[in-house]
Amino acid sequence: MPTLTAWRFTGTEQADQAVLRLKQLGFQQAIDVQDVAVIRWPEYAAQPTAQEHVTSEGGKVSAIMSKMKSGGIDSSMIESVKGDMSPGTSALVLMSADARIDRVAQALAGPDMTLVRSNLSVEQEDQVRAAFAVQADDDKPAGDNPRSGS
């Protein structure tokens, strides 16, 4: 069964940047990205908008084939994530498999990224949050990182 996670970002462009990093991780075989939706809520907009199947290279045919292969991201998940957002934020809904969590966390983690929904167990969510928290701490300047000995 594929893993479904939703991540919220503090800016409207961060989800797009995460998609680019996910594509690179896919090429490096660190994750099997099966489907991605990006949701953006610009400051001036009345509500967020979603762009589905953003990793499909070949347009509609690839999107249809990808959706048939993996089932695709359910629209109810996208609507739920929209409810977790506010103006000036973005979100990424990711359907994936075979993720090497340490590599994914290293490539994506940051203080502006929060796991908001998933189909993981509570224990699995805790493991994912812990892996991303370690990477976010490692990215802080030495004075802000209690593990650095400063």
Is 149 domain-assigned? no
Is 106 domain-assigned? yes
For residue 74, is pLDDT > 90? no
For residue 117, is pLDDT > 80? yes
Is 103 domain-assigned? yes
| Predicted pLDDT at 91 | 96
Please list, in sequence order, all residues whose beta carbon lies within 8 angstroms of the beta carbon of residue 59, skipping any fewer than 6 positions away.
none
Is 69 domain-assigned? yes
Could you tell me if residue 111 is left (phi over 0), alpha (psi between -120 and 50 degrees) or otherwise beta? Answer: alpha
Average pLDDT of the chain, as a whole number: 83
| Predicted pLDDT at 72 | 82
| Predicted pLDDT at 138 | 63
The range of the structural domain enclosing residue 60 comes to 3-142
Is 147 domain-assigned? no
Is 74 domain-assigned? yes
Query: How many domains does the structure of the chain reveal?
Result: 1
| Predicted pLDDT at 146 | 43
Task: Look up the pTM and report it.
Answer: 0.81
Is 150 domain-assigned? no
